[in-house]
Structure 1
C-alpha cells in the first residue's frame, strides 16, 4: 500500500488553462503539489515559481474531472476564476484528482471560507505572506523588492524587462527591529524602520512588496562587514548617470562609491558581505536582476522564492 505522503505529494507535466485570463490556449506547465499548495513552473528545471494556488489561503468550491478529456476543473469561492488542468491519460488524471482532493481536504480553506486573496488581481502570481510572517522570518541580508505605481516606474520596468523598479536591503536586530537600507532620489542612502514604514501606510504607495530571503551561512565576519558598510554609506547622496555604466570591472571598494541608486547599493552591500564577487561593478545591477529568472553571481548563497507581503492576511 502506498504511503500517504507519496500519494498526496505529486509532480509532473499538465496542460493548464484559466477561464478569465488573456491567454485562452492550453499551456504545458510542470506542476508540484505538496503541503496544500499547487505550484507550477515553465519547466522541470525552472527554479522560478510561475504561479501558486495555496489552498490554505483560498477555498475550493468544487473540483470535477472528465475522464474522456482527462480534464480537471477547479472552481473557487469568491471569484469567477476557474482553473482547468489536463492530464495525458486516465491513470495520471486519477492520480492528480486523488492528490488534489487530499491536499484540499486537509487545508485551512476547507475548514474556513476564505475569499480575500482570490479577489486580488493575479492572486496566483506570488506566494502571499502576512506582515507578521515577514517580521518573524526576515533576516539580515534579505531583500525587499518594490513594484511602484506611476508611469515612470512602469517605463523603468519595461526597459529592464522586470517586475520591480526599486529594492531595499533588510537588516534585523536582536531588539526585533526590522530596518530597510535603501537609496532613494528624495533621501539618498538612509535606514528606515519597517514599523514606521507601515505606520505611515507607505506600503499603500506600491502595487506590491515582494520579499526574498538570502539563503547563506551568516558568519560574524559577514555581519561585521555589513555593519561597517552601512556606517560608510549612510547619508550619501542618490546618484545615477551614464558614467556609472561604463566598463564592467569594479574600481572602488564597497561603500566607497560617491553616490548610489537602489540596486547599486544592494549589490555593493552584497560585495561587502562576500556574497557577490569583489570585482563586480555594482552599478551594472538593476532591481530586475534580483528576479528568480536572472542568474546573479552569488557566492555560496541562493535567493528564496518571491513572496508578496499581503497586509490583509
Structure 2
C-alpha cells in the first residue's frame, strides 16, 4: 500500500481484465460509455477499488465486474442535481461528483488520463441535460445512501412512468431472507387521465386500473417490494394504436385454467401461483403484439422473474432500464 496526494491509501489490487462489449448485461451492452475506473471506498478504509462503470439514460451504474447483472449502485442525474469537479491541480487524475446539499462525494480516477478526460466530458454532458440539473433537485428528497437503491416515490409515478414501462413485484418468502417475484404489470400513460395499470386478477379478469386506485385497492401492493423498469423505445403513433387494439382484445377477459390444466393440479395448489404466470403471459402478449418480442418466445413459458434484471430478456428495437424502487414514504 502507498498514499496518494490526498493521503488516501492506494489499492495494490491487480488491474481488471480487458473485456469487450459482448456482455450479457443489457445496461452495459447499450451504454453510451462504459469501462473500468477506480472508485474511492469508505468501506475499505478510503482505499481505491476497481469498479466497472456504465453511463446510460443520465444514470451512472457501477458493478464489481461487467458480468454481473445487478449493479452495486447507481447515480441518477435526473433525480438529483450534481456538480462535477474534474482534474484539480493537486491531483489531475481525479473526477469528483458532488450531489447538492449532501456530504456524499464520488471520487473516480484512472491511470489513463485520456480515458478520464472522455469520462469527464460524457458525465458533464449527461449532468447538464438532466432533469436534476434543470430543476436543481436536492438530496433532501432522497434517503441516505441514495446511490445504493434508485428510488421513485409513489406520488411521482404518474409524471415519471410512460406507456410500456413495467412494474415487477417481489415478496418476502416466509422464514427466509430470500424474496420471490410474484407479479408483473404493464403501464399505460393517458395524456388527460393519468397513469393506468393493465392488471389481471381472478375476479374481474383483465382490466385497467388507474394508479391511485391500484395502490389503494390491491392488497399485495403495500406488502411487496415494487420495481419499475422503464421501456426504452420510440413510442410511435403506430405502436400506440396497436396497444389500443390489444387492450380492447383483452379487456375484461377472464382469468381461467383449461380443463387439462385443472386436472394437472393438486388440490392444495395455490391459485395465486397461476396468477403470477398469467400476469407474465399478459405482459409478454402485450410486448409481442407491439412487435417488441420475438414471436418464437412462448408467452406461457415466462414468469415475473423473466422481466427482472436477474434475467436477460431480449426485446426487439427496445430494451428495459435498470431497477427503480417505488416507495410510499420518505424516512
TM superposition score normalised by structure 1: 0.61
Instruction: Check whether the contact 1:61–1:74 (CA below 8 A) recurs between aligned residues.
Output: yes
Give the aligned length.
Answer: 282
- Change in Cα spacing, 1:285 to 1:30, as seen in structure 2 (3 Å) is same
Are 1:119 and 2:144 counterparts?
yes
CA-to-aligned-CA distance 1:63-118 (integer Å, 9 cap, x gap) = 79696795556676787765342312456557767876897799649967523324
Q: Secondary structure at the match of 2:141?
A: coil
Instruction: Check whether the contact 1:20–1:81 (CA below 8 A) recurs between aligned residues.
Output: no
Are 1:53 and 2:72 counterparts?
no
Are 1:267 and 2:267 counterparts?
no
Are 1:212 and 2:234 counterparts?
no
Distance 1:302 1:33 in 2: 12
Q: Secondary structure at the match of 2:227?
A: strand
| Pairs within 5 Å for 1:129-144 | 129-131=152-154, 134-136=157-159, 138-144=161-167
Structure 1, unmatched stretches of 5+, are 1-8, 158-163, 245-256
Structure 2, unmatched stretches of 5+, are 1-31, 266-273
Structure 1 counterpart of 2:214: 197
Which of 214, 222, 246 is equivalent to 1:225? 246
Q: CA deviation at 1:177?
A: 4.1
CA-to-aligned-CA distance 1:279-312 (integer Å, 9 cap, x gap) = 5322321222213464435344433444444556
Distance 2:242 2:96 in 1: 53
Instruction: Check whether the contact 2:40–2:108 (CA below 8 A) recurs between aligned residues.
Output: yes
Distance 1:81 1:92 in 2: 24
| Pairs within 5 Å for 1:103-118 | 108=133, 113-118=138-143
Instruction: Check whether the contact 1:66–1:72 (CA below 8 A) recurs between aligned residues.
Output: no
Structure 2 counterpart of 1:236: 255
Distance 1:33 1:300 in 2: 17
Deviates more, 1:105-114 or 1:220-229: 105-114
Are 1:285 and 2:302 counterparts?
yes
Which of 168, 171, 192 is equivalent to 2:188? 171
Q: Secondary structure at the match of 2:292?
A: coil
CA-to-aligned-CA distance 1:174-230 (integer Å, 9 cap, x gap) = 541433223457876554321213446965433333142262540534431332023
Q: Secondary structure at the match of 1:115?
A: helix
CA-to-aligned-CA distance 1:37-86 (integer Å, 9 cap, x gap) = 54446788999876422356447799796967955566767877653423
Distance 2:264 2:90 in 1: 62
Which of 36, 39, 42 is equivalent to 1:19? 42
CA-to-aligned-CA distance 1:124-176 (integer Å, 9 cap, x gap) = 443x445565324544443212233453896453xxxxxx4421122344541
- Change in Cα spacing, 1:241 to 1:207, as seen in structure 2 (3 Å) is farther
Q: Secondary structure at the match of 1:26?
A: strand
Distance 2:52 2:247 in 1: 40
| Pairs within 5 Å for 1:34-183 | 37-40=59-62, 51-55=73-77, 57-58=79-80, 70-71=93-94, 83-89=106-112, 108=133, 113-119=138-144, 123-126=147-150, 128-131=151-154, 134-136=157-159, 138-151=161-174, 155=178, 157=180, 164-173=181-190, 175-183=192-200
Instruction: Check whether the contact 2:94–2:110 (CA below 8 A) recurs between aligned residues.
Output: yes
Distance 1:188 1:284 in 2: 20
